[in-house]
Amino acid sequence: MADTTASAGAGSSGMRSGSKQSTNPADNYHLARRRTLQVVVSSLLTEAGFESAEKASVETLTEMLQSYISEIGRSAKSYCEHTARTQPTLSDIVVTLVEMGFNVDTLPAYAKRSQRMVITAPPVTNQPVTPKALTAGQNRPHPPHIPSHFPEFPDPHTYIKTPTYREPVSDYQVLREKAASQRRDVERALTRFMAKTGETQSLFKDDVSTFPLIAARPFTIPYLTALLPSELEMQQMEETDSSEQEEQTDTENLPLHISTAHTETRS
């Protein structure tokens, strides 16, 4: 049963995009999987001692099995995404099964039972093909460790990179403008947020929202904040120290005079 999970999960996700027409290669693909499930249900019934079953009951059991497997897939995917992975691992599946009330410990024994029947791999069916018009770039082939019956990689632009062909902005004025307005926007947003979430003071009695001032709060040790450079400044200091005032984008650096006295005077 465990070895069908992956294909069932893929099948269930494929179902959503499937249409009613049976001529569609995608539907054929799904039907093939469905048939495999029916074989599984039938063999399980045989194993349980049934000699025959009505078609309707087989259909119902198939539906239940498919839902169950889909649920395992969906849930495992959630668990794996929760831990910031894209590929479900065994532990995701185990957690899922436990969550669904399944006694995982019994599973290995069940898989090794003597009377089990081996089902042949599903017949090779045509993969669902995306319409030509939407493809961009060449789809990658499966690497060798992925069985060929797994779905194809999606279009490369969806997960590799999207080359665009616009000229990058390098104009000094625009850059400065951008940097300035970005910083200003950030500052304004941040201070407004702080003002909204905390106590404020206002210069206008009737209006407290247009120019909200974050309320003045006394410090227990006021000289510390006043004298110590902030972490940002410290960081900046280190940076500038290491780069020692690299040449600026637009300036010819002024000659550096540090001494203050230049004019001669009579003494």
Partner 1 sequence: MPPTGLEPARMNRKKGDKGFESPRPYKLTHQVVCINNINFQRKSVVGFVELTIFPTVANLNRIKLNSKQCRIYRVRINDLEAAFIYNDPTLEVCHNESKQRNLNYFSNAYAAAVSAVDPDAGNGELCIKVPSELWKHVDELKVLKIHINFSLDQPKGGLHFVVPSVEGSMAERGAHVFSCGYQNSTRFWFPCVDSYSELCTWKLEFTVDAAMVAVSNGDLVETVYTHDMRKKTFHYMLTIPTSASNIALAIGPFEILVDPYMHEVTHFCLPQLLPLLKHTTSYLHEVFEFYEEILTCRYPYSCFKTVFIDEAYVEVAAYASMSIFSTNLLHSAMIIDETPLTRRCLAQSLAQQFFGCFISRMSWSDEWVLKGISGYIYGLWMKKTFGVNEYRHWIKEELDKIVAYELKTGGVLLHPIFGGGKEKDNPASHLYFSIKHPHTLSWEYYTMFQCKAHLVMRLIENRISMEFMLQVFNKLLSLASTASSQKFQSHMWSQMLVSTFGFLKSISNVSGKDIQPLIKQWVDQSGVVKFYGSFAFNRKRNVLELEIKQDYTSPGTQKYVGPLKVTVQELDGSFNHTLQIEENSLKHDIPCHSKSRRNKKKKIPLMNGEEVDMDLSAMDADSPLLWIRIDPDMSVLRKVGFEQADFMWQYQLRYERDVVAQQESILALEKFPTPASRLALTDILEQEQCFYRVRMSACFCLAKIANSMVSTWTGPPAMKSLFTRMFCCKTCPNIVKTNNFMSFQSYFLQKTMPVAMALLRDVHNLCPKEVLTFILDLIKYNDNRKNKFSDNYYRAEMIDALANSVTPAVSVNNEVRTLDNLNPDVRLILEEITRFLNMEKLLPSYRHTITVSCLRAIRVLQKNGHVPSDPTLFKSYAEYGHFVDIRIAALEAVVDYTKVDRSYEELQWLLNMIQNDPVPYVRHKILHMLTKNPPFTKNMESPLCNEALVDQLWKLMNSGTSHDWRLRCGAVDLYFTLFGLSRPSCLPLPELGLVLNLKEKKAVLNPTIIPEAITGNQETAINPSGHAQLVGFQNPEGDHLAKEASCNISAHQQGVKRKSDTPLGSPLEPGQILEKNEDSSKVKLKIRFSSSQEEEEVDMDTVHDSQAFIFHHLNMLERPSTPGIHLGVFNLEGKEQSPLEMSMHPVATAPLSVFSKESTSSKHSDHHHHHHHEHKKKKKKHKHKHKHKHKHESKEKDKEPFTYSSPASGRSIRSPSLSD
Binding-site ranges for partner 1 (CB under 8 A): 172-173, 176-177, 179-181, 184, 187-188, 190-191, 194-195, 201, 203-207, 210-216, 218-230, 232-233, 236-237, 240-241, 243, 245-246, 248-251, 253-267
The least CB distance from residue 133 to partner 1, in Å, is 46
Q: Which is nearer to partner 1, 3 or 231 (CB)?
A: 231
Q: Which is nearer to partner 1, 140 or 184 (CB)?
A: 184
Q: Which is nearer to partner 1, 157 or 188 (CB)?
A: 188
The least CB distance from residue 205 to partner 1, in Å, is 7
The CA distance from 30 to 10, in Å, is 10
The least CB distance from residue 228 to partner 1, in Å, is 7
The CA distance from 52 to 58, in Å, is 10
The bridge status of strand 200-201 relative to strand 213-214 is antiparallel
Q: Which is nearer to partner 1, 139 or 240 (CB)?
A: 240
The CA distance from 141 to 138, in Å, is 9
- Residue 34's CB is within 10 A of a number of other CB atoms, namely 19
Q: Which two tokens stand for residue 102?
A: 């399944």
Q: Which is nearer to partner 1, 89 or 181 (CB)?
A: 181
Reported as type and span, the H/E element at residue 37 is helix 25-47
Q: Which is nearer to partner 1, 162 or 253 (CB)?
A: 253
The least CB distance from residue 169 to partner 1, in Å, is 14
Place of tokens 């979430």: 197
The least CB distance from residue 168 to partner 1, in Å, is 18
Distances in whole angstroms, Cα of residue 211 to Cα of each of 5, 7, 98, 196, 218: 60, 60, 56, 11, 21
Name, in order, each residue with C-beta under 8 angstroms of 130's C-beta and a sequence gap of 6 or more: 155
What are the backbone angles phi and psi of residue 70, rounded to the nearest 5°? -60, -40
The least CB distance from residue 138 to partner 1, in Å, is 44
